[in-house]
Amino acid sequence: MTESTTERPADLSGAFAIGGDLTVNRLGYGAMRITGRGVWGDPADPDEAVRVLRRAVELGVNFIDTADSYGPFVSEQLIRKALHPYADDLVIATKGGLTRSGPDDWRPVGRPEYLRQQTELSLRHLGVETIDLYQLHRIDPKVPVEESLGELAKLREEGKIRHIGLSEVSVDELKQARAVTEIASVQNLYNVANRKSEDVLDYAEAEGIAFIPWFPIATGELARPGGPLDKAAKDHDASPGQLALAWLLRRSPVMLPIPGTSRVAHLEENVAAAGITLTVAEFEALSDAV
């Protein structure tokens, strides 16, 4: 149980305007897990994947994050199958810049012509004329970032991309990118147990840039029996994962967690975390535990 029984619990997570004009509920959904093992091929249960996506929207989730490399393209195509034509307030973000040659194999490719090709394919697979948020999945060390982002900026000028984001970058890389073009979001590994991107989050918050933490539910040793996360979870009659999400939502107003799952029951549990309010003492105890 959580502190809310609303039918749209994601509404309780608060709102943020990506790029200043795309307002979403801060608790979103990451669509990586609706693929096969190793994020490769079709999911074991395609019908359940469709149910997950439709249920997410019913629960008030209006920010869905995917990537062309999830499947590849399986995730984008399932999103279209489940949700097209899209609700007016639904924001779908995708990513390009990682190519796949098999399960669990990810290789950065940031050549301008490749990013243009992948953008065109994502437009087709999602069934849209403009991608709300297109993120460079990784900076390719073999390609100057000015060339990669320069091409995305051209695609934005052509109306094929609305906003540009980055993934797995440092503060210096984020600053370098902003010298090339406007950056609306950054997506880095971040959770209550792993805060190596704390400086990136602080910079994003100061600049009004959306921060999208991937792997948001990891709890590490904090969820051990008798640990701070375990205690808080019991106090709220909630799971450690729900408390981890509640901590993220309280950590910063620019935080947009995107927990992913392939099961409706787990989705409902994750989204219910938006109704949990941590006390100051609980938040500080979790913050200080790492």
Neighbour-count burial of 150, counting CB atoms closer than 10 A to its CB (0-12 exposed, 13-18 middle, 19+ buried)? middle
70 is catalytic: yes
Question: Of the residues 29, 70, 86, 203, which is catalytic?
Answer: 70
Contact indicator for 170, 144 with CB cutoff of 8 Å: no
CA nearest to 251, candidates 209, 196, 190: 190
End-to-end Cα spacing for the chain: 27
Q: Are strands 98-99 and 15-18 parallel, antiparallel or unpaired?
A: unpaired
Give 140-152 as a DSSP string. -TTS-HHHHHHHH
Contact indicator for 199, 186 with CB cutoff of 8 Å: no
Chain centre distance of CA 279: 26
Find out whether the peptide bond into 85 is cis, omega within 30 degrees of 0. Answer: yes
Contact indicator for 96, 137 with CB cutoff of 8 Å: yes
Residues annotated catalytic, as ranges: 70
